[in-house]
């Protein structure tokens, strides 16, 4: 692809370099080879520009570099432009329609002729698999589950009974969609009595679920992950939660039951959200923080329990001197006692 | 089912409504439809009583509502009564005895004729599957493992060699029972030498294990989860742990090796328990807390490291003002220095 | 095996007991039976020496016991010596070469005649399985993946496209090697645009991966776990990370993307490592700590965010009195105000 074509495709402008320069792939600064386009988004990596072997680079407005031999594509958002370049050079591998002879498909299941069903996949009663779906080997689709058009289900995944996967979703390996919620009532003998978990999970369109993640069904009703939300590896979503559109939930974060996560919320890694609460649109919880209260829209929250991120930064800075602090207060107490005695 | 029958079944008393009212299902306040019984346990949801479409409601003693058109079932424990109603309306789906032709059963395995073995299940040498067991597709039972009467094993689960699952247990999808413990000795070259992990895991009766949870076997001997304990998703149980009866271990909690968890202990979400320690009966660790010391019976512990929950609440409240605190101590120091100079 | 043989095998010296004493197995102090060798490494268990039924014990230099009837093997490192004894008494079960008829092997895959491929295993295009490999049932090896000599892949594992497992590795059940990295760019409509994840994961020789762990591939390039590193259950390794040789990563720890973990680093349970940073050789992060900054070689770090472990111990001690502290500072303020007024 010519540099000029790439610029057009990514809405960038050529600031340096020949429009006819041939670009063949895309890669990060450190591993890019000749012919690759690369990018700079995190200033931490600026020094790598000196040594990169890339032939062209996407740069945000205002960023200057000293390498005159590197073609420059000026973009409004270098990271986004680079992503579009990558998507062009590495298209998703095509679906090869057909059902592997070792797959076990219930006669009542409804599988599109344009779907690809891998080896040893098992589809339950009345399961529905739409056009362009790809199910990798050793995945299991329970009774009455539905996989929407263009979705990809990886090996080892279980989609439980009655659950629904929307269009163009991806579920990475060994994840569980629709496991029983963790609900028990204590009986008269202080033993746990299982609460039936007969609801379901709905993943709307364009949702991605990472590897080894578990999303519980509702006891009655549904857990719902709305359009465009992306969930990372090893995440726990409890029963009856709703995660609104375009949220980002990073690895090892956990949601207890019946919480509502707003649009475009970002939950960083290892965050904990207690049950029965609401995190407002565009809120951010930084890594390892937790909340047992509602979070207002747009707030950035840190700590356990979480509070305003700026206050938390001040508190954690003070915390690191807390041992010393104890000594200072004791000294003050002694001095004041001495003064009171003297006066 | 008539309201009067439901009342009897759940040991509740009819306080409002006709004994002949027909109740057809059960659901939460927000999603209940006409004909459903619902419940109120968490006061947070009191306002939903105004709008619920349910026909009847379980209420704890002392709780009053203003809706005269809603049949009221007064219960000692509304949540427990509702759970029993749900269990009546949604019985567990029956086991359909038989072995799917695609299952691979070692000739030395001993499978009850009253068990249901799903597609592509693999059973190893001398594996035992008792009456009424249901094993979902793509599960793997290793050599010499035993699945007790009435237990349910979901797709993607591995039950490792020699492990034992008791009666009426449930193991949700993609969990691992009996993976190797994480044990290594450092050799003379500072490399890790694997310690053989040849013990096993025993789940006693009525244990439930969530999805994507891993329970390690002991190096020698056993890890044991005792009767009635419930374990959530993505939980880590290290080698040689013992969890006593009726404990509740919430999602993403981790136990290092050789710890002993007492009866009815509650470990909330994302808790960490260090190795070689003992948590006494009825103790509670709140979410995201951790302990590297023994915990006394009945204590409620919070924080990292964990200490008394009430003290922790005071400390975390003060922590949020810690930045301001620093300033106050500095000001005090200046004033006291000024006084000392003046005096 | 005679005590004298065991001593030689473990580089220990007999300090008490007959060289001809027959030792038949090895086990911990509490469960050892007559004929077993046991060990003492953690002083916490010293009292168990009084009651152990073992016939011999490995002791570190300087440790004395009062039981004259217990044969004593003096070792430089009792734990290491015991590990070697265990490895002798419990050798790894041998590989039985052959491909189970239910396995689905792509015609282009290259499987050694000396490998063991279990029931319902699926091997993709051009997958390579070397000598002495054992793949347990229901594992899935994607296209172009390679499993090196002597490695063991357990049930439910997915090894994704192009990934490479070195020699003598072990991957415990339901882990995912090479899932897509969690990478998205925000587009003009504030929706997440997936960044192609076309790199791979390389596990070098002697690496062990626990159960239900997820290691993401790089977007372009590779994530690499170097020789001898051991990773526990439910661990998250983000895209493009490098973990150097002989590191130890305990359960439920998470690494965000593009971090570099040094040689022999220990990350205890539930640790969090932010993206784009470097943890130096031999550093230790204690359980539940986290860092968003580089960590110097050899440092021991605790807390969220992590800082020097000794300082952290002082700070956490003070934290537990922080509620009381608030009161003390307020009292000081009042007294000082009083003094100022008086003077």
SS3 B46: helix
Least confident span in A13-17, B260-264, B337-341: B337-341
The C-alpha atoms of residue C269 and residue A148 are separated, in whole angstroms, by 38
Q: What is the mean pLDDT of residues A166-177?
A: 98
Counts of helices then strands in chain A (DSSP H, E): 4, 38
Q: What integer pLDDT is reported at residue A343 of this predicted model?
A: 74
Q: Residues C33, C34, C37, CA angle at the centre, nearest 5°?
A: 80
Q: Checking DSSP bridges between strand C116-117 and strand C134-135, what pairing results, if any?
A: parallel
Q: Are the CB atoms for A301 and A309 separated by under 8 Å?
A: yes
The pLDDT of residue B325 is above 90: no
Strand partners, A301: A285, A308
C187-204: per-residue pLDDT in tens?
999 999 999 999 999 999
Strand partners, B284: B266, B300
| A/C interface, count of CB pairs below 8 Å | 209
Q: Residues A146, A152, A153, CA angle at the centre, nearest 5°?
A: 70
Of the residues B323, B337, B339, the best mutation for testing chain A's interface (the one with the most A CB atoms within 10 Å of its CB) is: B323
Q: What integer pLDDT is reported at residue C90 of this predicted model?
A: 96
Residue B63 CB contacts under 8 Å (≥ 6 apart), including other chains: B40, B78
Q: What does the block give as tokens for C78?
A: 């009792």
* Contact flag A193-B339 (C-beta cutoff 8 Å): no
Helices A309-319, B322-342: axis angle to 10 degrees equals 50
Question: What's the Rg (C-alpha) of chain A?
Answer: 26
* Contact flag B174-A185 (C-beta cutoff 8 Å): no
Residue C104 CA neighbour count, 13 Å, CB half: 23
Q: What is the mean pLDDT of residues B183-208?
A: 97
Instruction: Give the count of beta carbons closer than 10 Å to the beta carbon of residue A31.
Output: 17
Residue A137 CA neighbour count, 13 Å, CB half: 29
The H or E element spanning position B242 is strand B242-243
Q: What does the block give as tokens for C301?
A: 């770090």
Closest residue to B120, CB basis, from C83, C120, C269:
C120
CA distance B150 to chain C (A): 24
Query: What are the φ and ψ backbone dihedral angles of A104, each rounded to 5 degrees?
Result: -115, 105
Neighbors of chain B by Cβ distance (3+ pairs < 8 Å): A, C
Q: What integer pLDDT is reported at residue A82 of this predicted model?
A: 98
The C-alpha atoms of residue C288 and residue C90 are separated, in whole angstroms, by 34
The pLDDT of residue A326 is above 90: no
Q: Checking DSSP bridges between strand A122-123 and strand A284-285, what pairing results, if any?
A: unpaired
Q: What is the mean pLDDT of residues B193-212?
A: 98
The pLDDT of residue B326 is above 90: no
What are the distances in angstroms from CA B90 to CA A132, A140, C34, C175? 35, 24, 53, 34
Q: What integer pLDDT is reported at residue B342 of this predicted model?
A: 85
> Sorting pLDDT into bands at 50, 70 and 90, what band is B343?
confident
Of the residues C136, C138, C304, the best mutation for testing chain A's interface (the one with the most A CB atoms within 10 Å of its CB) is: C304
Alpha-carbon dihedral of residues C15, C19, C22, C26, nearest 10 degrees?
A: 30
The H or E element spanning position A88 is helix A78-89
Q: What is the mean pLDDT of residues B173-184?
A: 98
* Contact flag B323-A311 (C-beta cutoff 8 Å): yes
The pLDDT of residue A170 is above 80: yes
The pLDDT of residue B288 is above 80: yes
The C-alpha atoms of residue A7 and residue A83 are separated, in whole angstroms, by 13
The C-alpha atoms of residue C153 and residue C134 are separated, in whole angstroms, by 6
* Contact flag A156-B170 (C-beta cutoff 8 Å): no
Q: What integer pLDDT is reported at residue B98 of this predicted model?
A: 98
The pLDDT of residue C285 is above 90: yes
Residue B154 CB contacts under 8 Å (≥ 6 apart), including other chains: A158, A179, B136, B139, B170, B171, B172, B173, B174, B175, B211
Q: What is the mean pLDDT of residues B190-195?
A: 97
The C-alpha atoms of residue A209 and residue A231 are separated, in whole angstroms, by 5
Q: What integer pLDDT is reported at residue A157 of this predicted model?
A: 98
A29-86: per-residue pLDDT in tens?
999 999 999 999 999 899 999 999 999 999 999 999 999 999 999 999 999 999 999 9
Q: What integer pLDDT is reported at residue B303 of this predicted model?
A: 98
Residue of C nearest to A90 (CA): C196
Q: Sheet harboring A116-117: ordered strands across?
A: A98-99, A116-117, A134-135, A152-153, A170-171, A208-209, A230-231, A248-249, A266-267, A284-285, A300-302, A307-308
What are the distances in angstroms from CA C48 to CA B149, C32, C38? 37, 11, 11
Q: What is the mean pLDDT of residues A191-214?
A: 98
Q: What integer pLDDT is reported at residue A77 of this predicted model?
A: 97
Q: What integer pLDDT is reported at residue C305 of this predicted model?
A: 97
Residue B311 CB contacts under 8 Å (≥ 6 apart), including other chains: C320, C323
Closest residue to B318, CB basis, from C89, C119, C326:
C326
Residues of A in contact with C162 (CB under 8 A): none
Q: What is the mean pLDDT of residues A230-254?
A: 98
> Sorting pLDDT into bands at 50, 70 and 90, what band is B268?
very high
ipTM: 0.96
Taking the CA atoms of C75, C77, C81 and C82 in sequence, report the sign of the dihedral they define.
positive
Residues of C recognised as catalytic = 239
Q: What does the block give as tokens for B282?
A: 């009825």
Q: What mean pLDDT value characterizes chain B?
A: 97
Q: What integer pLDDT is reported at residue B230 of this predicted model?
A: 98
Q: What integer pLDDT is reported at residue B77 of this predicted model?
A: 97
Place of tokens 């939460």: B28
Q: What integer pLDDT is reported at residue A51 of this predicted model?
A: 96
Residues of B in contact with A335 (CB under 8 A): 336, 340
Neighbors of chain C by Cβ distance (3+ pairs < 8 Å): A, B
> Sorting pLDDT into bands at 50, 70 and 90, what band is C343?
confident
Q: Are the CB atoms for A248 and A279 separated by under 8 Å?
A: no
Q: What integer pLDDT is reported at residue C292 of this predicted model?
A: 96
What are the distances in angstroms from CA A253 to CA A272, C125, C239? 6, 35, 17
Q: What integer pLDDT is reported at residue C326 of this predicted model?
A: 87
Q: What integer pLDDT is reported at residue B296 of this predicted model?
A: 98
B282: left (phi over 0), alpha (psi -120 to 50) or beta: left
Q: If you write DSSP's letter for every residue of A3-62 in order, what string do you get?
A: HHHHHHHTT-EEEES-TT-B--EE--TTT--TTEEEEE-SGGGGGGGGT---SEEEEETT
Residues of C in contact with A77 (CB under 8 A): 185-186
Q: What is the mean pLDDT of residues C66-90?
A: 96
Q: What integer pLDDT is reported at residue A202 of this predicted model?
A: 98
> Sorting pLDDT into bands at 50, 70 and 90, what band is B221?
very high
CA distance A311 to chain B (A): 7
Q: By C-alpha distance, which of C78, C1, C87, C86 is closest to C40? A: C78
Q: What integer pLDDT is reported at residue A205 of this predicted model?
A: 98
The pLDDT of residue A325 is above 90: no
* Contact flag A254-B264 (C-beta cutoff 8 Å): no
Q: What mean pLDDT value characterizes chain A?
A: 97
Q: Is C332 exposed, middle or buried (0-12, 13-18, 19+ CB in 10 A)?
A: buried
Question: What's the Rg (C-alpha) of chain B?
Answer: 26
Q: What integer pLDDT is reported at residue B61 of this predicted model?
A: 94
Q: What does the block give as tokens for A29?
A: 């600064």
Q: What is the mean pLDDT of residues A249-277?
A: 97
C110-152: per-residue pLDDT in tens?
999 999 999 999 999 999 999 999 999 999 999 999 999 999 9
Residues of B in contact with A123 (CB under 8 A): none
Residues of A in contact with B138 (CB under 8 A): 120, 122, 138-140, 156, 158
Q: Are the CB atoms for A261 and A254 separated by under 8 Å?
A: no
Closest residue to A83, CB basis, from C158, C174, C195:
C195
Q: What integer pLDDT is reported at residue A286 of this predicted model?
A: 98
């Amino acid at each position: 692809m010519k540099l000029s074509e790439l610029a057009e495709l990514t809405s960038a402008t050529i600031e340096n370099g020949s429009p006819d320069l041939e670009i063949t792939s895309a890669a990060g600064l450190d591993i890019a080879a000749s012919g690759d386009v690369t990018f700079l988004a995190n200033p931490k990596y600026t020094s790598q520009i000196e040594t990169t072997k890339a032939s062209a680079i996407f740069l945000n407005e205002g960023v200057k570099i000293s390498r005159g031999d590197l073609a420059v594509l000026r973009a409004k958002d270098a990271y986004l432009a680079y992503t579009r370049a990558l998507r062009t050079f590495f298209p998703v591998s095509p679906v090869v329609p057909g059902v592997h002879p070792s797959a076990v498909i219930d006669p009542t299941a409804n599988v599109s002729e344009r779907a690809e069903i891998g080896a040893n996949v098992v589809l339950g009663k009345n399961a529905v698999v739409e056009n362009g779906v790809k199910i990798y080997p050793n995945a299991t689709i329970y009774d009455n589950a539905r996989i929407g058009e263009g979705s990809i289900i990886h090996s080892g995944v279980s989609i439980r009974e009655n659950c629904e996967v929307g269009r163009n979703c991806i579920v990475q390996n060994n994840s569980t969609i629709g496991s029983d919620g963790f609900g028990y009532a204590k009986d008269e003998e202080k033993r746990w009595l299982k609460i039936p978990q007969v609801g379901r999970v709905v993943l709307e369109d364009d949702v991605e679920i990472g590897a080894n993640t578990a999303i519980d069904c509702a006891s009655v009703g549904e857990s719902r992950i709305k359009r465009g939300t992306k969930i990372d590896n090893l995440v726990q979503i409890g029963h009856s939660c709703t995660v609104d559109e375009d949220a980002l939930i990073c690895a090892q974060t956990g949601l207890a039951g019946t919480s509502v996560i707003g649009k475009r919320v970002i939950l960083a890694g290892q965050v904990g959200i207690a049950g029965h609460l609401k995190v407002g649109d565009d809120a951010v919880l930084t890594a390892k923080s937790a909340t047992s209260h509602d979070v207002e829209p747009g707030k950035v929250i840190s700590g356990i329990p979480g509070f305003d991120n700026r206050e938390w930064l001040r508190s954690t800075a003070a915390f690191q001197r807390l041992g010393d602090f104890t000594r200072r207060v004791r000294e003050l107490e002694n001095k004041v006692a001495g003064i009171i005695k003297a006066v």
